[in-house]
Amino acid sequence: MLTRTQKVIIYLTLSIAAFLMVFPFLWSIISSFKFAHEIMAIPPTFWPENFTLTNYYQVFNSQGSQFGNWYKNSLICSSLVTASVCFFSALAGYSLAKFEYPHKEKIFYTILSTMMVPMQMLIIPWYIMFTHLKLNDTLIGIMLPGLISAFGIFLLRQAFERIPNSLVEAARLDGASEFTIFRRIMFPLIKPSVAALGIITFVGNWDAFLWPMIITDSSHMKTLPVGLQAFAGQFGVEFHLIMAAANLVVIPSIIIFIVFQKHIIGSIASSGVKG
Amino acid sequence: MFKFLEDEKKQKMFWGYLFVFPAFLYFLCMNIWPMLYAFFLSFNDWNLLKVEKKFVFLQNYFEVFQDKVFLTSLYNTFAYAIIIVPLGLMIAIFLSVLVNSGIKHVGIFRFMFFIPVITSSIAAGYIWMWLYEPTFGLFNDILSIINIQLPFLKSTYSAKLSIAAVVIWKNLGFQIVILLTGLGAIPNSVYEAAEMDGVTGWRRFRYITLPLLRPTIIFLSVTGFMKVLQMFGEIYVMAPTGGPLDSTTSVVFHIQKTAFESYRLGYSSAMTFILFLIILGITIFQIKYLSGEKN
């Protein structure tokens, strides 16, 4: 057991550490409510002298900022990619876990081996391919490289392997078609694993930067992180605006995290990776 | 429907193939073929602004190892890894042992440590850039109390460290959550037995907790190392030119610039292939090392 002093020291250390961890966000929120002249004031102020929402108004209305579109694009891309990853990973994972056919092992290891190839190596060929297919600067272009995940197949194959074969056999005897068995019986049984996969896929895609930046050109096609980068690049050192824009990216994630924190932390802990 | 489907075994095979087919085809088109194509490209001199590809065999690879910026970026990337991985892990182990020491309110601490993990690294990069700002940023405001001013991102000495600090901060929560899972798996009876033998405090941590956490720590070092090898976004935001004097350029950053700003696709493919070999080497090392643990 801990003594009283030990407890006080532990709480104090952890509280300071936790405060330092979230402080950058607090500071960016505080800064975003200051007027441009106050943010550059020497000596600096901590709390805004005149509280203002001008910066947010400017971020939404300045040229080159399309936050509405960027939210929409990020939401569409992350959701569709997540749905696709969950569906196809489950389908392939089910096949690899519960069916017998020639070359099954080879197929599995071929899929698994793609996990070792860094995404940066594929970006140049993708870019050339997508230019030929006229997919540059489209949402499909942003999404296509992420639609199926080898890691997802690996994860869900494991989940299916834990389900007894007798369940599948019983369903077959009832005369259900194979796809119905998958959709109605098998898929619901691994829902916790699918949810975990869905969460890490969504979080990873919401944060994706390199590929969406390369494949998009026009402002209205960008995703949130890419849009933010373009916006900040344009405004250089006007940190009152950049902080407001950064908060517009950060705050929705934090709200969603507050609501689903148990699920999100659990998913990332159980699968051991992020993105 | 089909005649051969009447045979039950063949029917099952048919469905098995049908279910795995979309994924397999997808990986052939989106991963395996592009990988081979990148390999092929790396033997060609091809600038996107010119139409013709020219086969040059190994010339790109020879050039890569004479490319000063590439060598610097390779050095920087390993320097990032050597700063970020051990330092981040030490802080994470320290904090997770405290969180796991039997206090209440574990959830709230875990929650606060985890917030940076789920936020966009681009947004986080700008927020830190503002903290680091030399004249108006908060850090130098605070430091001015004791008459110190640091250049942070503006000097070759401190820029790399400044970026490394952000990466450590961003990933700390992830490491803590994984470590807490590892710590939770250590049975209480082990600690009780240790206590009876009079092993407590630092010695308990050193000789019991740490060895039992070893697999988790190895896992986190390897995944952390991989992440650092592919670092890009943070640098792109906080040091858009890779400067000062290329001191922050990472391998992926240099690849991105060469491929999509100078459009030297063949040459940059050669660099991605070298990155791939490094990652492959570490993966093989990891598999051997980890399977060696079990024996």
DSSP codes, B40-108? HHTTEE-BTTSS--EE-TTHHHHHHTT-HHHHHHHHHHHHHHHHHHHHHHHHHHHHHHHHTSS-S-HHH
Three-class SS state of B249: coil
- The Cα–Cα gap between B120 and A212 comes to 14
Q: Do the Cβ atoms of B266 and B43 come closer than 8 Å? A: yes
In a domain, A36, yes or no: no
Is residue A5 domain-resident?
no
Q: Report the first-to-last Cα separation within chain A, whole angstroms.
A: 39
- For residue B241, which amino acid is it? T
A256 domain residue, yes or no: yes
- B106–chain A Cβ distance below 8 A for any pair: no
Mean pLDDT of B215-228: 87
Is the pLDDT at B244 greater than 60? The verdict is yes
Which A-chain residues 49-78 have CB contacts (< 8 A) with chain B?
A: none
Query: Does residue A265 carry a pLDDT above 60?
Result: yes
Whether A104 has its CB under 8 Å from any CB of chain B: the answer is: yes
B241 vs B262: CA distance, rounded Å: 14
Q: Which of A187-196, A265-274, B90-99, B207-216 has the lowest mean pLDDT?
A: A265-274
Q: pTM for this structure?
A: 0.89
CB contact under 8 A, A145 and B27: no
Q: Across chain B, what does the average pLDDT equal? A: 87
Report the alpha-carbon angle A190-B28-A162, nearest 5.
Answer: 20
* Partner residue facing A101 (CB), from B17, B237, B252: B17
Which residues are B55's β-sheet partners?
Answer: B44
The domain that holds A126 is classified in CATH as: 1.10.3720.10
pLDDT at B226: 87
Is the confidence at residue A273, as pLDDT, over 60? no
The residue among A4, A14, A105 with the most chain B CBs within 10 A of its CB, best to mutate, is A14
What is chain A's Cα-based Rg? 24
Q: What is the pLDDT of residue A275?
A: 35
- Return the higher-pLDDT residue of B146 and A274: B146
Report the C-alpha gap between A90 and A156 in whole angstroms: 6
Residues of A in contact with B276 (CB under 8 A): 117-118, 121
- For residue B216, give the chain A residue with the closest CA: A272
Q: Which residues on B lie below 8 Å from A236 (Cβ)? A: none
**Burial track A116-134 (b if 16+ CB lie within 10 A, e otherwise):** ebbbbbbbbbbbbbbeeee
In a domain, A259, yes or no: yes
Distance CA B11, CA B178 (A): 43
Q: Using 50, 70 and 90 to split pLDDT, how confident is the model at B294?
A: very low
Q: Please, what sign has the CA dihedral across residues A260, A266, A270, A273?
A: positive
Facing A121 at nearest CB: one of B110, B174, B275: B275
Closest CA to B254 of B277, B231, B238: B231
- Examine residue A54 and state whether it is found in any structural domain, yes or no: no
Question: Contact, B218 vs B175, CB < 8 A?
Answer: no
CB contact under 8 A, A225 and B122: yes
User: Does A19 fall in a domain?
Assistant: no
- pLDDT tens figures, B173-211: 999 999 998 888 888 888 888 888 888 778 888 888 888
CB B77 within 8 A of CB B228: yes
pLDDT of residue A129: 92
With CA atoms as reference, the chain A residue closest to B103 would be A7
> Domain containing A214: what range?
66-271
User: Residue A256: pLDDT above 80?
Assistant: yes
A261–chain B nearest CA distance, Å: 7
Q: Report pLDDT digits (tens) over B126-137.
A: 999 999 988 888
When CB atoms are compared, the residue of A91, A100, A128 closest to B12 is: A100
Provide mean pLDDT across the span B217-221.
86
Is the previous residue joined to A44 through a cis bond, with omega within 30 degrees of 0?
A: no
Please check whether residue B232 touches A, CB under 8 A: yes
ipTM: 0.88
User: What type of residue sits at position B273?
Assistant: F
Is the minimum CB–CB distance between A31 and chain B shorter than 8 Å? Answer: yes
Fill in the amino acid letter for B70: F
CA angle B142, B145, B150 (to 5 degrees): 60
Mean pLDDT along residues B90-107: 90
Q: Please give the pLDDT value at position B157.
A: 84
Number of domains into which chain A is organized: 1
Which is more confidently placed, A50 or B97? B97
pLDDT tens digit sequence for B1-35:
555 556 777 888 888 999 999 999 999 999 999 99
Q: Give CA–CA dist A127/A182, Å, rounded.
A: 36
So what's the pLDDT on residue B295?
A: 35
Q: Omega before A43 cis (within 30°)?
A: yes
A103: helix, strand or coil = coil
What is the arithmetic mean of pLDDT over B101-112? Answer: 88
The per-residue pLDDT for range A214-239, each reduced to its tens digit, is 999 888 999 999 999 998 888 777 88
Q: Kindly tell me if the per-residue pLDDT of A5 is higher than 80.
A: yes
Q: Percentage of residues in chain B with pLDDT exceeding 90?
A: 41
Q: Provide DSSP, B149-213.
A: ---GGGSTTTHHHHHHHHHHHHHHHHHHHHHHHHHHTS-HHHHHHHHHTT--HHHHIIIIIHHHH
Helices (H), chain A: 4-32, 36-39, 54-61, 67-98, 104-113, 119-132, 139-143, 150-161, 165-173, 178-180, 187-189, 191-206, 210-215, 224-235, 239-271
In a domain, A225, yes or no: yes
Of A88, A101, A226, the CB nearest to B23: A88
Using an 8 Å CB-CB cutoff, list chain B residues near A214. 256, 260
Domain segments of chain B as ranges: 3-41, 68-294
Using CB atoms within 10 Å of the CB of residue A42, give its burial: 0 to 12 exposed, 13 to 18 middle, 19+ buried: exposed
The mean pLDDT of chain A is 88
- Give the C-alpha separation, A64 to A58, whole Å: 11
The lowest-confidence range among A123-132, B109-118, B150-159, B249-258 is B150-159
Q: Is B40 on the interface with A (CB under 8 A)?
A: no
Residue A103 lies in a domain: yes
More confident residue, A116 or A211: A211
What burial class does residue B151 get, using C-beta atoms within 10 Å of its C-beta: 0-12 exposed, 13-18 middle, 19+ buried? middle
**pLDDT tens digits, A82-111:** 999 999 999 999 999 988 888 999 999 999
Note the CATH number of domain B68-294.
Answer: 1.10.3720.10
Count CA atoms closer than 13 A to B261's CA, side-chain side.
9
Query: Is A272 an interface residue toward B (CB < 8 Å)?
Result: yes
- Are the C-beta atoms of residues B54 and B46 closer than 8 Å to each other? yes
- pLDDT at site B291: 54
What are the tens digits of pLDDT across the range B270-287? 999 999 998 888 878 877
Handedness of CA A67, A122, A152, A165 (dihedral sign): positive
Q: What is the mean pLDDT of residues A27-46?
A: 83
